[in-house]
């Protein structure tokens, strides 16, 4: 017996197709200046009212000796937390007022890379 291939129409996959616009979440990144140099990642998360942010989303800018500087980056996943952080610019933390600025990921990465040299 010779089998003949069955002709059937392909159905579209029931799985959702993943495209870049759906899978890439929007990052909201701030750079914080004038922080006390002894401020920990936990302290920074509490300052911004987001204790549940992963530690990996709080990045200290280090000096040439790998010591913390007065600057850090915080990556938020939601716009509301980001806006709250921006509004904290000018608040006094320790002995000085902090400055909170919006920053892009490429600029943040460039600054972090330079600090590691």
Q: Identify whether 21 is part of a domain.
A: no
The DSSP result for 22-52, as a single string, is HHSPPPEEEEEES--TT--HHHHHHHTT-TT
**For position 69, which CATH number holds?**
3.30.70.330
Q: Identify whether 3 is part of a domain.
A: no
Task: Give the single-character DSSP code of 13.
Answer: P
Tens of pLDDT along 82-110? 999 999 999 999 889 999 999 999 999 99
- Domain count of the chain? 1
Tens of pLDDT along 42-93? 999 999 999 999 999 999 999 989 899 999 999 999 999 999 999 999 999 9
At residue 85's C-alpha, the angle toward residues 49 and 43, to 5°, is 45
Which residue carries 């002894």 as its tokens? 38
Q: Identify whether 47 is part of a domain.
A: yes
Q: Identify whether 4 is part of a domain.
A: no
């Amino acid at each position: 017996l010779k089998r003949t291939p069955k002709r059937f129409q392909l159905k579209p996959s029931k799985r959702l197709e993943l495209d870049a616009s759906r899978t890439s979440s929007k990052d909201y990144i701030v750079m914080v200046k004038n922080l006390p140099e002894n401020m920990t990642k936990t302290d920074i998360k509490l300052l911004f009212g987001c204790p549940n942010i992963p530690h990996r989303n709080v990045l200290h800018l280090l000096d040439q000796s790998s010591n913390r500087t007065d600057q850090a980056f915080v990556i938020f996943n939601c716009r509301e937390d980001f806006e709250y952080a921006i509004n904290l610019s000018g608040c006094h933390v320790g002995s000085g007022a902090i400055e909170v600025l919006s920053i892009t990921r490429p600029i943040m990465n460039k600054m972090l890379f330079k600090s590691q040299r």
